[in-house]
Structure 1
Amino acid sequence: MTNVQDIRSRARGSSWLRTLPAVLLMSGAVSLAAERVEAFELFGFKLFENDTAEAVEVVDPLSYSVTLEVTGNDPDGDLRSELEAASQLVQGADRPVSGSIGLIQRANGDFEQLIAALYENARYAGEVRILLDGRRLADLPPDASLGGSGPVPVRILVDPGKQFRFGDVSVRDADGRAYSAGEQGLAPGQLAKSTVILDSEQALVLELERDGHPFAKVSGREVVADHARGLLDVSLELEAGPVAPFGQTAVDGAESVDSQFIARMAGIRQGEQYDPEELAAAEKRLRALEVFSSVTVRGSESLSGDGSVPVEVTVAERKHRYLGVGATYSSTDGGGLEAYWGHRNLFGRAEKLRIEGSVSSLGTTGQAKDMTWRGAALFEKPGVLGPASKFVSRLEVEQENPDAYRRFSVEAAAGITYELTPQQTVSAGVNVEYARLTDSFNVDLETITVALPLEYVRDTRDSKLNPTSGTRLSLLVEPTYEINGGATFVKLRAEASAYRALDADKRFVLAGRVAAGTIYGASLASVPANRRFYAGGGGSVRGYGYQDIGPVNAAGQPTGGRSLIETSAEVRIGVTDTIGLVPFVDAGLVSASETFSGAKFKAGAGIGVRYSTPFGPLRVDVAVPLNKDATDPDYGIYAGIGQAF
């Protein structure tokens, strides 16, 4: 009979477990091991580095060599890989221990971790033996002397035994009501992994919490292993606790951000039934304000006098002022620089002000009048129509000179964005623009344009900077009136992208994008040049010049169009943890008509390199046109921050 301390969650916490000849009993709580955040180096600079030194001198250093031997059937080596990952002897073999005592301590910890790894693979009849310098770990006294002239040989011998399956499964509460955890795999006949039991407990408690029980818990657990039949019988008892509503919201940690504003933006209504998802949504909403470095929203551990659950919000504010610079480069369109300054908490309620400026086409022209530049002031105020809303406004002055037109403009815009759900938003606003335009149809044409953009966005991506799963859909309807020319038209545009990882480690990700748009109600010449559709360039069809795909005039200059189709496909391959390769294909067309007629697709293909950073991947793409015309470049090189889409 052997006593061991084990059974781990995914974070490798432990609870007491005792194995008997035919009976295995598990009880106690699972403790999660905290993970230490390490400093990292980028371009020679240490980020998030602690003030204290990481290096610790090892007293009486002792080196060792280790081998792991697994008997039995493991054709794919998956079990061996998991055992190696669980073993500190294996993972730390290149780091000496502090004498014989240090090696014995590491081996004792390893024994527990290896047994736990077997349980996670539903192997409850396995055996682990560790030999230090040819001597069994169990036979060594704590003060044993190991080693000689070279590294101490360490052998880990694992006989995993057969896999168990769940036998009888019973989940009930104190009143005898039965529950099912079959969706988590806790059902007769399923593989009896220890993590399935722990995950099922969490899911069952969460289900009760969603029904308004803030103090639900697993009050009893009994697990019996029948080694003869290879079955694991599981009995769980749940304690639901009282149903309770939310109480008052209290805020701790606020400094320059108004506490009452924080409580209102949390959006948890007093008197509504307790729901952990409301707490999670409140935390996400407060993080989105971008004024806090950390946010925690939780229910109190006890009921208040009126039987409600007080809500506790704890925040830590970040620096509210920031500034930055950026750069882009394209072999077809030249270089670009931008700079910005911002304030995240202008009046104490997370109001944002951002001043930004940029210049591009560097290296392609030496004349200031031919350069592209932009200056803008952006203001945002959250919570104007409740926690799910924000007011946004923009004042912008811009000059641009692409191949299709020359434009100087002053534009003012304001609108409201409202979050329907955590994944869905709608927005509405008004844009007023004065512009002086020269294009294929006009010279120094002055326009005053009023537009009413309405947009719907559904975004389920797991990351906005580097998504590996999910989708994004945007739909835009923009009624527009140009006052000087009297043109009235409606611009429609839809864009969808999807992402899917092909493996568990997410090193191979398929990414696709398709976009389409059309303009109804006015002729091509009547639509201001900057509001027509264009394609080509780094954010569109790579391998072609910026806005160079589509109709052209007699001089070969792009005119833009009234309809657009674009599509892109990428395979994002993680070569290392920081370096990635991305082969891609892009295609698109622009038509002068509103029905996509009279146009042909242009396609480009190439490969890109990605370098992962905390602020998004650095991107360099090289592409060639696949159906090149005489005016198209031989290739294009594009650089920037973030994925192409």
Structure 2
Amino acid sequence: MKQFPAKSVIRFFFLFSPLFLLCVFPVTALSSDTPATGTALKITGVDGPIKANIKSHLALVDNVLPASALGFPRSDAFILDKTRQALQALGYYRPEIRITEKGLGKTLEIDRRQPVRWRNIELNLICVQPYPELEQMFNRPPLKRGEIVHHGDYEKFKSAVRQQALELGLLASTFTVSQLNVDVAEAYADIRWLFDCGPDYVVNRVTFSGTALSETLLGKFVSVRSGQRYRQSQVIASQQALTRSEFFKSVTVEQNVDHLARQADIDFFALDQDKYELKSLLGYGTDTKGKLGVSWQNRRANDRGHHYLLRLDLNQVIANSADITTSFQYKIPLGREKSQWINLVGYQRENDDFADSEVITLESRLLRQNNAFWSSQWAITLARELLAIAGGSTQSLIYAVPSWQLKYYSVADPFSADAGWFWQSQLRFSHDHLSDPELAFMQMEQRVKRIWRLSSRWRMMMRGQLGITWMDTETFNTAMPSDYRFFAGGDVSVRGFGYQSLSPVDEQNELLGGKHLLAASIEFDYLFHRDYRWAVFADQGNAFNHWRDRQLQKSVGTGLRWVTPVGAIRLDVAKALDGNKGWRLHITIGPDL
């Protein structure tokens, strides 16, 4: 018999081995372009979170168990092992599990049997000084005696303790004892913790880098001080305050901890915004019609953060004559985020149904951001207004109007909020000694908005506005400045009516504006896509001079909302139920709250 040399045998093997592999392992199993065939798997005996956890462990997709990476069906041993892991995570350590086959699929039959429950929960805290946040967590743990063991909740609670300790600056804190004992036979589990807070750390140095602004200004936004106890929560809050100051593109924090000396050096690196900014605006609104605008801003007039803004706006540019507003603002930061002193010089020319007006304004406003939710504002406005009233008469007004405003948001960031409430109260007044001709009045305005989340997709929104003026009606009609007359109707008032089209009228049926204002709205919206909502609403309101004569105009409508990072873009169609009972389109942009 003829024998083949060993080298020939080896050469033959390497030459034909790929063909052999393709015969043994089908192309469909090895190809990454063709999905592997799975096994239909039905789960019985459990439901809700338990069933969901089993599906997660098995990676089921539409009740199909995916094949292995090589394309083989998963074995019964694999299914049983993953199922036991999923059940143990939720406290079921001794289940009865059976797999039956029917046709091309399998059925996973589960009898959970008796679960393991928490018995003794012993949590001990060792700290040199009191830490109420940690003490509350240890005294009121989310794990209760007699409840079914949930290992996910256990690990989540343990992580929360570690995180809370870090936020309190306990950088050397540790679990010296962390025991979780499960007795499967007796169906109970015990916890024993001993958490050592360790020593306090101290802030050694606080430095700022990367910015042209002075440390004096930056220190007003930062609550971390050299020599005080280190608190990570204060470091994070300081970083957020610097970020919200609008001075910087980004703010990062570098912390160098010396565990031997038990101290930390903190450096805030702040990247400044561009010093100058030129912006242009081109837009359209159903109230303002066509709009053009341009602004020039200097964000750093000096290293103390003073900045100024020069702005020109043209509204109703599609109409015969445009409304013009130009202003110069000079802002001085006052140390807390968003707290500032604003001084403004402005000129406004406006044409409306009541009058053509030219107003020169000097205004000084003191804004105080008391905390993340409350803010207040004191202001005084000095103005000279020239009115050409419909009908031919003209008049000149010179007046000073002090005002006070209080504002509350139930959420820290109203732009991203889809539930919560907002309230604003404003009080304005003037006196005979502050005006020429004599003008004495007091005015109060209240605004409130509330959004309820009814379900994962449905919301209800209500808003209201109330305005009251204490002033003689005849003097109001002849001498009240146009900025302090109330009108209703428009995109953010009573939809279905034109902008500021609801108010008392004179003998020529020209709008005068009212002493009082009352408006309300209710709206339901439905999230039918990730970024789109459909809404139905009803509005009512009016401006009037006497409460006995109030006639609230009503409307209903529907609309579409596109949710964007700058707020919702709203397209509404509303029908007036009073007056001319016409239809009207409304377009608005801004946060829901």
Q: Does 1:448 align with 2:398?
A: yes
Shift of 1:567: 1.8
Corresponding letter in the other structure for 2:330: F
Query: For 1:36-57, what per-residue CA distance to the aligned partner results, in whole angstroms no more than 9, with x for missing partners?
Result: xxxxxxxxxxxxxxxxxxxxxx
Aligned mate of 2:454, from 496, 499, 502: 502
Shift of 1:605: 1.8
Q: Does 1:361 align with 2:316?
A: yes
Q: Does 1:479 align with 2:452?
A: no
Correspondences of 1:435-584 after superposition (within 5 Å):
435-439=385-389, 443-461=393-411, 463-481=413-431, 483-503=435-455, 506-521=456-471, 523-525=475-477, 526-584=479-537
Secondary structure at the residue paired with 2:567? coil
Gaps of 5+ in 1: 1-57, 135-152
Partner of 1:405: 355
- CA 1:285 to 1:643, structure 2 compared with 1: closer, same or farther past 3 Å? closer
Secondary structure at the residue paired with 2:239? helix
Q: Are the equivalent residues in 1 in contact too, given 2:170–2:201 (CA < 8 A)?
A: yes
Correspondences of 1:86-101 after superposition (within 5 Å):
90=61, 100=69
Aligned mate of 2:556, from 605, 609, 632: 605
Q: Are the equivalent residues in 1 in contact too, given 2:181–2:189 (CA < 8 A)?
A: yes
Aligned mate of 1:64, from 12, 27, 36: 36
Gaps of 5+ in 2: 1-29
Q: How many aligned positions are there?
A: 548
Q: Are the equivalent residues in 2 in contact too, given 1:184–1:196 (CA < 8 A)?
A: no
Shift of 1:203: 4.2
Q: Are the equivalent residues in 1 in contact too, given 2:289–2:317 (CA < 8 A)?
A: yes
Shift of 1:415: 2.0
Aligned mate of 1:167, from 104, 107, 119: 119
Shift of 1:303: 5.6
Q: Distance in 2 between matches of 1:319 and 1:112?
A: 59
Partner of 1:242: 199
- CA 1:603 to 1:280, structure 2 compared with 1: closer, same or farther past 3 Å? farther
Q: Are the equivalent residues in 2 in contact too, given 1:462–1:469 (CA < 8 A)?
A: no
Shift of 1:554: 2.3
Partner of 2:3: none
Query: For 1:471-492, what per-residue CA distance to the aligned partner results, in whole angstroms no more than 9, with x for missing partners?
Result: 2222212233562212122221
Q: Does 1:620 align with 2:571?
A: yes
Root-mean-square deviation (Å): 4.2
Q: Distance in 2 between matches of 1:549 and 1:191?
A: 63
Corresponding letter in the other structure for 1:510: M
Correspondences of 1:288-307 after superposition (within 5 Å):
288-297=244-253, 301-302=257-258, 305=261
Q: Radius of gyration: which is bigger?
A: 2
Q: Distance in 2 between matches of 1:386 and 1:466?
A: 22
Correspondences of 1:346-385 after superposition (within 5 Å):
346-363=301-318, 365=319, 367-368=320-321, 371-382=322-333, 384-385=334-335
Partner of 2:20: none
Q: Distance in 1 between matches of 2:105 and 2:272?
A: 50
Q: Are the equivalent residues in 2 in contact too, given 1:439–1:529 (CA < 8 A)?
A: no
Q: Are the equivalent residues in 1 in contact too, given 2:308–2:331 (CA < 8 A)?
A: yes
Q: Are the equivalent residues in 1 in contact too, given 2:121–2:191 (CA < 8 A)?
A: yes
Shift of 1:84: 5.7
Query: For 1:598-631, what per-residue CA distance to the aligned partner results, in whole angstroms no more than 9, with x for missing partners?
Result: 21222222111111223322211111123x114x
Shift of 1:411: 1.9
Query: In percent, how many aligned pairs have the same letter?
Result: 17
Partner of 1:222: 179
Shift of 1:289: 1.4
Q: Distance in 1 between matches of 2:181 and 2:352?
A: 74
Query: For 1:151-170, what per-residue CA distance to the aligned partner results, in whole angstroms no more than 9, with x for missing partners?
Result: xx998969594665433212
Secondary structure at the residue paired with 2:497? coil
Secondary structure at the residue paired with 1:285? helix
Partner of 1:392: 342
- CA 1:247 to 1:129, structure 2 compared with 1: closer, same or farther past 3 Å? farther
Query: For 1:470-517, what per-residue CA distance to the aligned partner results, in whole angstroms no more than 9, with x for missing partners?
Result: 2222221223356221212222122222222223xx432222222222
Q: Does 1:588 align with 2:548?
A: no
Shift of 1:198: 3.3
Partner of 1:279: 235
Q: TM-score, normalised by structure 1?
A: 0.72
State which drifts further: 606-615 or 517-526: 517-526
- CA 1:540 to 1:69, structure 2 compared with 1: closer, same or farther past 3 Å? same
Q: Distance in 2 between matches of 1:103 and 1:552?
A: 83
Partner of 1:434: 384
Corresponding letter in the other structure for 1:588: G
Q: Distance in 1 between matches of 2:80 and 2:204?
A: 47
- CA 1:484 to 1:186, structure 2 compared with 1: closer, same or farther past 3 Å? same
Q: Distance in 1 between matches of 2:278 and 2:155?
A: 44
Corresponding letter in the other structure for 2:543: V
Q: Are the equivalent residues in 1 in contact too, given 2:517–2:544 (CA < 8 A)?
A: yes
More helix by share: 2
